[in-house]
Structure 1
């Protein structure tokens, strides 16, 4: 009977999280389609897209992380029935996201010359330069889209951003086909054609989400008649106080996984390929965890607005339970299919490279064992982080994520990966240690805060 208090929330939790998961998988699909289409042009073109996107990865993590400040404020206002406060939160968030989008575009644009001192092949750099210019511009509509998305999520309208992402995928595929290969009368522009598809799809995604929200009674007043430059210092300060730490949280996690790619590259091309396979498979299951993190942020924010703190704690634990159960299923799948899943990425018909292929498979299978275990840690840390954001608690969790990833996880990855026979497995043991430390410390933080709110009722 006690368990039922948590399981009865599962249906609504899934209803909220599923569109977020599908929307995030949609973003992943854009990159997947780009890689497949550009890969038809040759390895230099594919390397150019990869190099250009490595610059975008850090910028996007900062922009998307910052935008999450909007969701808990809108969710709290929605719980209170306070439209004026909710709209003010969104408007100020939209302004800051627009400024940040422009700043990130300029940052990436002026960082382009760094490619010349990164010891990359000259041909790849020459191809990446024009690609990165257009993709950098697309940061502006992408980060502005995130502001609208977070507002929509805060109003528990998680389907609208999913629909916009689906439309963006269709636009991206069609324009890629036209401008990469020169179809339907369009010029064949190669790598630049892929950038045009990405930029156009993000503009369409933003416009379509605004249209959907402007047609919905619940969100119409939020996205129409916005007095963009009528701002208050107190609300800007509040959003910066929530957004900046949230951006750092995402940056710390993205950066340690980027460091794992770098460390794997030092070990050689085969360890790096194996690392990429395990990382790609893990990122797919992480999208599910991210969906439940957003659901936790929305529902906890609602309960905070209604000052129902016992319900807040019960609902949060129902999401922790459900997401952990799913993580266990993913972990079992990874354990059972540790030798089969990596084969999807490898070509066993290439007799000339069969030795390399078998080495990559061996390493990737070992990494899948560690990835199976950290499914649970990774899921729990991101979902609890979502609940804490819903409570507008971001500063202490930022310190927790820094300590977990960079004072615990990274030194272990560096030592075991570079100075012991564990090699690639050692790098991933460090990732596991960082994620587990983060999950444990964040859960202790949530326990402390939620109990304190109940005592103060």
Structure 2
């Protein structure tokens, strides 16, 4: 969650430049996050196998080493995609001025991709070793350094989104080096970077891609849908993009709660033996019940105050902004708040299924419910029924709700099938 705060802080800083730069950032950030999640999601399943290999030091080290190399390969892929993305914006009907500003961010953010992907594997490794305190400390230091650099580059050097990207890059590299140093000097007795033999590397790569590609399509598909919605909103007027960016920031921050609980749920379920199918089923349901109550309660406690004091929240970004931006941002905040409850339910179901080595069901629900149905409804309500930017967001919300229903149905069917096979 602390890592995500860096992007939110950067929006505060960018919002004080001008409305065009904020709108360009509102266009660039979702596309960048979509490409990142499409590739980095392959590494989200690292914890599942790492938890199973925890007591085998040699095999764990080979798995860790293979994952490091795979993370670097994925970073190269996303660098190519990000560079191509900037050239496509004008072809997708976006303003040339806004596209040009956004392209600065794309061009410079690629330098931070290798450490960002490496940090995913390194931080998950430390979580397995219960060294979460250093993961949090390094993330907090990344936040401080990144915020200072982004502010300095944008306000003192006048680099706009180029300065934002460079601030991110330096912060990403700093945290990555901190994590590498901590593992080398404090966890060398548990894991080390070793030469991978061919068979182990192929086996580990197959696992990460077999389990990871549905997760990649799931998270990436959701972000693709969100990016398409952002591009649709960009067809209306600049203020709509600015309002979208303001309303999205608290979701970007709070979405880490479902994500964290999803990862914790996956680990707790993955560590449980399936020797007694009835005890295993009871364990899964108990973990899900506890995570669901905890997650929904926390989301409610955080979302309601933001909606009550939405004017104050918006004022933090643009003190004297156009009334049209403020009005539209308030509506987007309400829609985003409702979506967070659906996000929590879906992430918990996805985490439980991932812990049971099932990821294809959640992938299909995201593609069908959110990416396909959601974007179709967004286009219909926004364009055909003249709903505008608000109609687009409502269409995506309905798609998310449908996706959650499909995932819940799949989870129920999977549990019944597992019980029948076990008996």
TM-score (normalizing by structure 2)? 0.85
User: What is the SS of the residue equivalent to 2:182?
Assistant: helix
**CA deviation string 1:100-125 (max 9, x = no partner):** 11121123234443356456666666
Counterpart position of 1:436: 401
Answer whether contact 2:15 2:318 (CA < 8 A) is retained.
no
Matched, 1:205 2:179: no
1:123–1:411 CA distance, 2 compared to 1 (3 A): closer
Aligned counterparts, 1:354-365, within 5 A? 357=323, 359-365=324-330
Is 1:264 the counterpart of 2:233? The answer is yes
Q: Please list every run of 5 or more consecutive structure 1 residues that lacks an aligned counterpart in the other structure.
A: 1-23
Q: Does 1:30 align with 2:2?
A: no
8 A Cα contact 1:76 1:304, kept in partner: no
Determine whether 1:103 maps to 2:55: no
- Whether the 8 Å CA contact 2:62–2:195 is kept in 1: the answer is no
1:15-414 alignment to 2 at 5 Å?
24=1, 26-37=2-13, 53=29, 55-78=31-54, 81-115=55-89, 117=91, 131-176=105-150, 179-180=153-154, 192-217=162-187, 220-222=189-191, 224-228=192-196, 230=198, 231-304=200-273, 309=280, 310-333=282-305, 336-337=308-309, 341-348=313-320, 353=322, 357=323, 359-414=324-379
Render the CA deviation track for 1:420-448: whole Å, top value 9, x for unaligned. Answer: 25444432332222222222222333333
| Alpha-carbon distance between aligned partners in 2 of 1:47 and 1:365, rounded to the nearest angstrom | 17
RMSD (Å), alpha carbons:
3.3
Judged with a 3 Å threshold, the aligned counterparts in structure 2 of structure 1 residues 127 and 373 are, in CA distance, closer, same or farther, namely closer
Distance (Å, rounded) in 2 between the aligned partners of 1:147 and 1:238: 15
Once residues 408 and 23 of structure 2 are traced to their aligned partners in structure 1, the CA distance between those partners, rounded to angstroms, is: 40
Tell me how far 1:366 sits from its aligned partner: 3.5
Q: 1:368 to 1:39 in 2, by over 3 A?
A: closer
Q: Which 5+ residue runs of structure 2 have no aligned equivalent? A: none
Change in CA separation of 1:405 and 1:270 when aligned onto 2, cut-off 3 Å? same
Q: Structure 1 residue 227: deviation in Å?
A: 1.5
Choose 137-146 or 89-98, whichever is displaced more: 89-98
Summarize deviations over 1:103-156 as a string: whole Å, max 9, x none: 211232344433564566666666655653331121111112112223333445
Preserved contact between residue 77 and residue 305 of structure 1 (Cα < 8 Å): no
Deviations 1:273-311 (A, max 9, x none): 433333223333222222211211221222258876132
TM-score by length of 1: 0.79
The total of aligned residue pairs comes to 418
Between 1:173-182 and 1:251-260, the stretch displaced more is 173-182
Out of 265-274 and 380-389, give the one that drifted further: 265-274
1:172 to 1:345, Cα distance in 2 relative to 1, 3 A = closer
3-state SS of 1:113 partner: helix
Change over 3 Å in CA distance of 1:125–1:323 after alignment to 2: closer
Range moving further from structure 2, 313-322 or 193-202 = 193-202
Distance 1:345-1:45 versus aligned 2 partners, 3 A rule: closer
